[in-house]
Amino acid sequence: MAKTSTSRQPRNGTRIDKRLLRKIPGYDPFETAADCHFDAKAARFAVGFFEECLTFTSGQWRGQAFTLQPWQRAIVANLFGWKRPDGTRRYREALIYVPRKNGKSELAGGLGNFLIFADGEPGAQVYCAAADREQARLVFNAAKTMVVAESEMQTRARVYTHSIVYESMGNVLKAVSAEAYSKHGINAHGIIVDELHAQPNRDLVDVLTTSTGARRQPLIVHITTADFDRESICNEKYDYARKVRDGVIEDSAFLPVLYEASVEDDWTDPAVWQRANPNLGISVSTEYLERECRKAQDTPSYENTFKRLHLNIRTQQDVRWLPLEAWDACDLGEIDESELEGRPCFAGLDLSATTDLSALVLVFPNDDDSVTLLSRFWMPADNAEKRERRDRVPYQTWARQGHIELTPGNVIDYDRIKHRIDELGRRFNIREIAVDRWNATQLILQLQGDGYDVVPFGQGYKDMSAPTKLFESLVISGRLGHGGHPVLRWMASHVSVETDAAGNLKPSKKKSTDRIDGIVAAIMALGVQSAAETGCIFDEENVEEWLVW
């Protein structure tokens, strides 16, 4: 492609040597080249396209020439410099595995533009793909902004809301997502999959991959941060890339670019951050990672998030959540229930299956932005001894001490629970009761008939994440008074949380080693309290407004 009208020059030149090409961590492209050869002129052309024709689209460098960092230059030079004996591209697939804030979307947008403007493929169809429309548009919008900012490119193309068309070649760049799964029939020359870890399944990737079969030299680039330790298309590609890097699998057409720390590394060490973040000090600041690391050390549930998003360490979804020392620090002595009589409170009710523990927790907001919890538990009397032997938990002792009420028979007595709630309602001003819909239909109707405002409360991330984070904050900051209730302490000692790709949290009954009903009930109560006080559904956007430290 001709030089642009602005005549920008690459700041650091376009010299390509073996040392640069070997900057891919742990990978030597020469060792696996087979009969392929390196074309320095083609590599310089690709690097020059970025640095002469493209600009940064956001941040402090917006509008400035897209000067590639050495690690980015190594990727571009390897992808487009290596040739097969027939002159076509050596690399047909790449995994660029880099933590957040290292400029992945900008690099991906630049790759998309190169594939339609400068790759020499007539009728090229190039797709920016992601799990949802918003994510797919991040890369596409970066590419579009680069085109609009460069007069020569803009005059050669038609730029639309969802596509860029290079008319003289019949080439097009589009954004697609897994939400709009109707990609059969396309003939892709280039595919850029952003945040591969967020793909809900492999369907979109498989369809796009198979759509390249008729192309002369297609290129598929996956760009992502680490996924959780689970079966996923992201982990499949990562495991394959690692084997190619390590020489376990011979695949000269796959470029493995893996920037990561290991599980054995000290994740608080800045030297480890540097190794995992090639753009540290440029697009991601050391100060930012220091702040995030402190947050991870102070907030245990954030530790895995920090490791996964900022160090590319593949972590388990479930994490041990609450430090027991922080929980115990919230024990300020036995709660005098008489002092709470008449005060407004919010309740969370977690009903068990017929033979297990059920829990009710009342949350009383205090003037100093702390909360006080009152907890009640029920269990069928006939099961207590057997479950005590099986679970090795002192249910009967707790019952004798008044911490659990044993109901007659071998199934939970919902009428008894309703009767106890009515007693509490006469003592305390119960504003709302949050109830898990599961197992609760009849009791919900009965409580509503008694005049209570009963709120069905979902157990997914949407409803549970924000109050779960708030619960954690209250514990860590010492603002959750629980009176040392032994059953609640036992539950706090083993509760685990699940985390999704967006960093949302929720307590996990499946992952926790034992019962956590009281913790779940308390979180639901916090959820309806916040909704009542803010006048809106409790979500991530109003957490900070509700929290006063």
CATH of 18-260, one of 1.10.3720.10, 1.20.1630.10, 3.40.50.300, 3.40.190.10: 3.40.50.300
Q: Are 408 and 436 in contact (CB under 8 A)?
A: no
Could you tell me the CA-to-CA distances from 345 to 340, 342, 374, 450, 515 in Å, in that order?
9, 9, 10, 17, 24
Residue type, 175: A
Q: Do domains 18-260 and 324-546 have the same CATH topology?
A: no
Q: Which residues contact 120 (CB under 8 A, 6 or more apart)?
A: none
Alpha carbon separation from 406 to 24, 37, 401, 403 (Å, rounded)? 64, 78, 12, 10
- Inter-CA distances, 461 with 46, 274, 324, 377, 502, Å: 43, 33, 24, 25, 10
**pLDDT tens readout for residues 327-385:** 999 998 889 999 999 999 999 999 876 667 899 999 999 999 999 999 999 999 988 88
| pLDDT tens for each residue of 490-537 | 999 889 888 887 788 999 888 776 889 999 999 999 999 999 877 654
The third-level CATH classification (topology) of the domain covering 324-546 is Nucleotidyltransferase; domain 5 (3.30.420)
Tokens of residue 246, six digits = 């390590």
> Per-domain residue ranges for the chain?
18-260, 286-318, 324-546
The DSSP-derived string for 152-180 is: HHHHHEEE-SSEEEETTTTEEEEEEEGGG
Per-residue pLDDT at 454: 94
pLDDT of 373: 97
Rounded distance between C-alpha atoms, residue 3 and residue 359, angstroms: 71
How far is Cα 521 from Cα 540, in angstroms, rounded to an integer? 20
Tens of pLDDT along 256-287?
999 999 989 999 999 999 999 999 999 999 99
Query: Do 521 and 378 form a contact (C-beta atoms < 8 A)?
Result: no
Residue 311 · residue 276 · CB < 8 Å: yes
Question: Is pLDDT of 108 > 80?
Answer: yes
Tell me if the pTM is above 0.85: no
- Tens of pLDDT, residue by residue over 194-220, are 999 999 888 899 999 999 988 999 999
Specify the pLDDT at position 302: 84
Residue 494, CA distances (Å) to 64, 321, 327, 382, 387 in order: 52, 8, 12, 26, 18
Q: Residue 6's pLDDT band (boundaries 50, 70, 90)? A: very low
CA distance 433 to 443: 12
Place of tokens 């197992």: 439
pLDDT(538) > 70: no
Distance CA 277, CA 267 (A): 12
With 60 as the cut, is the pLDDT of residue 549 above it?
no
Strand partners, 432: 346
Give the separation between CA 157 and CA 174, rounded to whole angstroms. Answer: 13
Sign of the Cα pseudo-torsion (508, 455, 371, 349, in order)? negative
